[in-house]
Copies of this chain bind each other. A is one copy, B any other.
Amino acid sequence: MLNEHLSNARIIRCTVPGIKDIPVAAKKLLEKIDIAIAFGWVGSSPIDKYSYLAASIGIIMVQSLTGKHIIDVTVHEDEAERPDELYEIAINGAKKRALNLIALLKGSETLTPYAGMGLRQGLPDVGPLR
């Protein structure tokens, strides 16, 4: 999908052991590239949620230090009960966030028409307030 919209883009894939390893991996990548998208899977225990919080703070810190976006696609195991639902959430969220990535690369004002429309990552959109 990214290749369709960004025909000249070079895409690098990198795998890390766990979500807390994302910030440093992203920082190293962002020395060479313009934007990153992070796919994280978070368990359902309170410990997993603390790891999610720590990773999120780290991802935000790296963005602030590099001045580059890291788009964050995080799927939480407790967002759905069945594996096929989780799979849909992950795929759906990844696709929507990839479109966000393209929009940010092209200048973030292209996202503005979608602001406040109740669009949700991975889940059905809820629509605007009124």
Contact = CB atoms under 8 A, between A and B. Distances in A.
Contact of A13 (B14, B16, B47, B109): B109
A46 B21 CA distance: 23
Interface string A64-75: 110111111000
A7 interface: no
Contact of A49 (B14, B27, B47, B79): B47
Interface in A18-64: 18, 20-21, 23-25, 27-28, 41, 46-47, 49-64
B67 A27 contact: yes
Contacts of A53: 50, 53-54
Contacts of A16: 69, 104, 108, 111
B24 A68 contact: yes
Contacts of A130: 83-84, 87
B108 A23 contact: no
Given A76-B47, A90-B129, A60 B15 contact: no
A117 to B, nearest CB: 11
10 contacts: A15-B111, A17-B100, A18-B121, A24-B69, A25-B108, A27-B64, A47-B52, A53-B53, A54-B60, A57-B58
